[in-house]
Structure 1
Amino acid sequence: MRVFLASIPLEGAKVVVVGAGEPALAKLRLFLNSPAALAWFTPDGAPAVLEMPQSAPRPIARLPEAADLNGARLVFIALHDVTLARRIAEAARDAGAQANIVDQPGFSDFHTPALIDRDEVVVAVATGGNAPILARDLRSRIEAVLPQGAASVARLAGELRGAVKDAIPDFLARRRFWERAFRSPAADLAAEGRMAEARREMVRLLNAAASPREEAAKGVVHIIGAGPGDPELLTLKALRALQDADVIIHDKLVSVEVLDRARRDAKRIYVGKARGDHSVPQDQIEQLMIAEARAGHRVVRLKGGDPFVFGRGGEELEAVRAAGIKAIVVPGITAALACAASTGLPLTHRDHAQAVTFVTGQPKPGGQGADWARLAAPNHTLAVYMGAGQAEQIAADLIAAGRDGATPVAVVENGSRPDQRAFKGRLDDLPALVARMELTGPALLFIGETAALAVADDERPRIEVAA
C-alpha cells in the first residue's frame, strides 16, 4: 500500500481554499454540503457571479495571513504562482494544517482522492497523485453499483450502534449481527427511506440476537480454490467467502495478491507445504479446521488451484463432515487451465488432441504411480502436476510405452503470474529442458501435440520503446 486514505471528521473542522480558478472551485465544491467551516481566499480576484458555486462562502480578495490559517485542518492552494503557493503551504504547516497544492503532488502533504459522496457513506479512490483521471474513471464504475440509499442504512446503524454494543458485548457475535442486519429486509427498508419500519425490524433482529435462548453460533468451513495466483481469476463466490472469513488457513501456493483480497482483520494461519517439507501435517490441518469451526468461526481453507485437483480437498471435506460441521466447497481455476490459457496452449484440439488427462507426477508415498503405458497414446494431451522432479523418469516411461521422442512438450512455471516462464521442447529432451529452466516456482509439464502451439518466452513479440 503506497498511500493510506484516512477518514477525517469534518464536524467543526476549518477548511481553507486559496484561488479562484476551476481547480480551486472544484476543491470548494467538495465541502459545500459538509459541516466544515469554509474560508475562501481569492488573491487574483473572485470568479464571475455565474461561476460562483451556490452556498459558497463570501470570497476574501487577498492572500491568507498567518492568523487566517490558525486552527485550519486542511488548506487547498490553487494558484498559478507555484513559488507563492509553496510559501502559503509552509505557513499552513506552521499553523498545524495539512496543505495540498493543486497539481504539485511532490509538495503536498496529502492528495485529493476521487470521491463518491453518499453523505454518511464516502468512498475514495486514490492513485497517490499519479493518475487522477484513472481514479476518476474508477470512481464512476464504483458509483454505478453503489446504492443511493447506502447513507440511510449507515445512519440507522449509527443510531443503534451503542444499543447493539450493550446488548451483544462479544466482538465476533456483534460483527455477525451487523452482517445479518445489513443483508436483511431492515437494510432494504432503510435504503428505500422507510426508516420507521427499518428501525423496528433492526430492533427485532437485535432482540433475537441478544436472547439467551439463541443457539450458540455454529461455525462453517469453506474449502476454496484460490486459483493459480492471479487474484482476478478468483470466483465471485470465493471472494465473498474470503471477505466474510474469521479465520483463513492457507497453503504456500496461495499468492500474496489473493490474500490481499481477504478481510484484513481475519486471523491467518499458514500451513504451507513444499516437496519434502510439510510444516503442518495433514491430520493436524484437518483438526485445526475443525477446532476453529467448533469455536463458532467461519473458516476458509484456501488452497492453490482447485481443492479437488491434487489438492487433498477430498480428504479435508471428509474430515470436516465426519466432525458434524457444515462444509462448502468453492472450486477454483486449476493450474492446467491457467497455464494453458496464459500460453495459448489448447488442451484439446480437433486436429491434434481428442483427450486431455490431468496426472500427478508425485504419487502418495508408497502408493501406486500413474500408468504411463496407458497414457502414451498419440493425440492426447497430458498435464502433469508436480512432475518437474520426475521429468527424466516420466519421459523414459512414456517413450518406452511407445510415445515418440519427438512429441512436443512445454514447461510452464508460475502460470498466470507476472513472473510466469514458459519453454518448449521435445519429450526426449524434457529432463534437460527442466534442468535449463532452473525452476524455483510451481511448474506444470504439458506433453502432447498441442504443446507445440504454446507461445514460449523466446517466441513472444518484443516491444521496443523509442528513446
Structure 2
Amino acid sequence: MKYFPIFVDAQHIHCLLVGAGEVAARKCELLLKTPAKITIVSPWVSDTVQRLADASEQITLINRKFEDDDINDKQMIFVATDDEVVNKHIHDIAHARKLLVNVVDNTPLCKFITPSIVDRSPIIIAMSSGGVAPVLLRYIRQKLESVIPANIKLLGNFSEKFRNKVKEGLSSVTDRRYFWEEVLDGDIGESVLQGNNDLAAAKLDKALIAYKNGDKPAGQVYLVGAGPGDPDLLTFRALRLMQKADVVVYDRLVSPEILELVRRDAEKIYVGKAKSNHTIPQEEINELLAKEALAGNRVVRLKGGDPFIFGRGGEEIETLIDHGVDFQVVPGITAATGAASYAGIPLTHRDHAQSVTFTTGHLRDNTINLNWPALVQQNHTLVFYMGLTGLRIICDKLVENGMPSTMPIALVQGATRNNQKVVTGTLATIADNPDTLALKPPTLIIVGTVVELHATLNWFTGKVSQ
C-alpha cells in the first residue's frame, strides 16, 4: 500500500490553492465541503473561482503571482497552474518544510493524493488507485453511487444519536455489533431512510428491550414492484430490499433474471397464477405474508410490474393491517409503461392521444364486464392487461361501441425482455393474424392511433410482426 488512507480533521486546517482556473475550481469546490480555511493565489481568476470566492467567507482570494511566503501558516497545499516550473518550485519548498502538497495531475510531485469520493456525509467513502487508473476509479465510483442510497446519511445521523444508548444497554461489543446489523439492515433502517425518525426511534427502543431479553424482533413485509421483466428497470430500493430479504414471495410475472438478484440464502416461495390455474388462492397468499412476518422475517412480496396496478397489493395490505404487521410499498415500472416504451409506442402524444386508460381484459364467464362506451373516446389510448384470451371480444366490443374497425392495435409479449415480440394490426385484422395465435401471456394490448408510431419509433431489438 503505497498511500496510507487517512481522514484529516479539516476544522483547523488552512489550505493554500495556487491557481484559479477550472481545475483549481474543482479542488476548491471539494474543499468547500469542509470547514477548512482556503487561500487562493493567482494572477488570473476564472469565473467559476470568482463566483465561489464571492459566495464563501472561507475563501481569501489574492490576485497576484505566487510568492514563497504564501506557504507560511498553511498545512495543506494544492498546486493547479499550467506552469511546470512554478509547480515544481512550490513542491520543492513545501516538501522542504514537510508540508502536505499536491500538484494536480502530477503524481510524482504529490505528497498526498485526493481520493475519489462518494459523499453521503457523515458517511464518506474514499477510494484511490494511487494515481495509476483514474478512469477505472471513476467507473467504480459510479457503480457505488448507484447502489448506495442517496439518503444513507440519515442512517449515519441516526446511529450517532443512539450510539450511547445502545452502548449503555448492551455491554458486549459483539452484542452491539449484531444489534446494529439488525437495526441498519431491517425495518428500523428502512424507516430512517424514509425520513420517519420518530417511528424508527420507537422501534429501536422496543428492539433493544427485545434483544436484551433474547426475543426475535417483529418482521415486516415489503411489497416490491419488480417491473415488466428487464432487471435494469428495477429501482435501487427494490434491489436493496431484495438483497436483504429473509423470505421472498414471488409470482409468475417475475422474470428469472430478476429472481437471480434476490439474496442467495433467502427462502423463495412461488405463488404464481396462470390462466385457470391458481397455484395458491389470493387469500392464502395474504395470510402467508402475515405469517412469515409475524415469525420475525423480512418478507419481500415480489410482484411483476407495480403492486398497485392490477397487482392486488391493496388486498394484501388489508390483511397485513388486520394482523398488525408493518409494511412498506415500493413502486415498480408497470407493464403498460414498460411495454409501450420498449415497443416504441408512446401512450400519450400531442398529435394522437391526450389521455390513457389502463383496464383489465380478464375473461369471466367468457365475457369482459367493462363500461365499453366510456372506453371509446377521441384522442385516447387504451391499455388492456390480461386480455390476450379475450382479444376477439375486446375488438368486437370496441367496434360495437363506435370505435373504427381500422383503429390500430398492438400486442406486446414479454415486454422489455430479450424475447419481446410485437404484433400490430387493426381491430378488424389482429385476432386472425397467424402471429397473434402464436403469442402467449403475459401479453399487453395497446389500442389507439399511437400504435402507428411503432414503425418509426421502435428502438428495441425484440421481434416485430405486422
TM-score range, shorter chain: 0.5 to 0.7
Aligned pair 1:139/2:129, yes or no? no
SS of the counterpart of 2:317? helix
What amino acid is the match of 2:140? R
The match for 1:375 is 375
Change in CA separation of 1:355 and 1:222 when aligned onto 2, cut-off 3 Å: same
Deviations 1:436-463, CA, capped at 9 Å, x for gaps = 4501341111111111112489x7799x
CA contact (8 A) 2:412 2:444 kept: yes
What amino acid is the match of 1:233? L
What amino acid is the match of 1:254? V
Question: What is the CA–CA distance in structure 2 between the aligned matches of 1:133 and 1:234, rounded to whole Å?
Answer: 29
Give percent identity, aligned residues only.
Answer: 38
Question: What is the CA–CA distance in structure 2 between the aligned matches of 1:31 and 1:314, rounded to whole Å?
Answer: 57
Shift of 1:328: 1.2
The match for 2:269 is 269
Deviations 1:260-309, CA, capped at 9 Å, x for gaps = 22222211111111111111111111111011011011111111001111
The match for 2:452 is 452
CA contact (8 A) 2:363 2:389 kept: no
Shift of 1:376: 1.8
CA contact (8 A) 1:164 1:174 kept: no
CA contact (8 A) 1:218 1:293 kept: yes
Deviations 1:239-273, CA, capped at 9 Å, x for gaps = 22212211110001101221222222211111111
The match for 1:442 is 442
The match for 2:320 is 320
Show the 5 A alignment for 1:174-185.
176=182, 179=185
Please, which runs of 5 or more residues in structure 2 have no aligned partner?
5-115, 117-124, 128-132, 160-166, 191-204, 462-466
What amino acid is the match of 1:292? E
Question: What is the CA–CA distance in structure 2 between the aligned matches of 1:347 and 1:181, rounded to whole Å?
Answer: 37
TM-score (norm 2): 0.57
Deviations 1:337-385, CA, capped at 9 Å, x for gaps = 0111112211112221122111111056699711222212232111011
The match for 1:227 is 227
The match for 2:331 is 331
Aligned pair 1:394/2:394, yes or no? yes
Please, which runs of 5 or more residues in structure 1 have no aligned partner?
1-29, 34-115, 124-131, 154-159, 185-203, 463-467
What amino acid is the match of 2:254? V
Question: What is the CA–CA distance in structure 2 between the aligned matches of 1:461 and 1:234, rounded to whole Å?
Answer: 18
CA contact (8 A) 1:353 1:380 kept: yes
SS of the counterpart of 1:217? coil
Shift of 1:138: 4.1
Question: What is the CA–CA distance in structure 1 between the aligned matches of 2:186 and 2:299, rounded to whole Å?
Answer: 17
CA contact (8 A) 2:307 2:332 kept: yes
Deviations 1:42-83, CA, capped at 9 Å, x for gaps = xxxxxxxxxxxxxxxxxxxxxxxxxxxxxxxxxxxxxxxxxx
Shift of 1:210: 4.0
Question: What is the CA–CA distance in structure 2 between the aligned matches of 1:143 and 1:327, rounded to whole Å?
Answer: 27
The match for 2:64 is none
Change in CA separation of 1:406 and 1:321 when aligned onto 2, cut-off 3 Å: same
Change in CA separation of 1:166 and 1:308 when aligned onto 2, cut-off 3 Å: closer
TM-score (norm 1): 0.57
Question: What is the CA–CA distance in structure 2 between the aligned matches of 1:260 and 1:331, rounded to whole Å?
Answer: 20
The match for 1:428 is 428
Change in CA separation of 1:253 and 1:164 when aligned onto 2, cut-off 3 Å: farther
Shift of 1:174: 8.8
SS of the counterpart of 2:428? helix
SS of the counterpart of 2:409? strand
What amino acid is the match of 1:176? E
What amino acid is the match of 2:212? S
CA contact (8 A) 1:167 1:210 kept: no
CA contact (8 A) 1:410 1:422 kept: yes
Change in CA separation of 1:389 and 1:135 when aligned onto 2, cut-off 3 Å: farther
CA contact (8 A) 2:342 2:460 kept: no
Change in CA separation of 1:183 and 1:270 when aligned onto 2, cut-off 3 Å: closer
Show the 5 A alignment for 1:36-55.
none
What amino acid is the match of 2:339? C
Change in CA separation of 1:224 and 1:426 when aligned onto 2, cut-off 3 Å: same
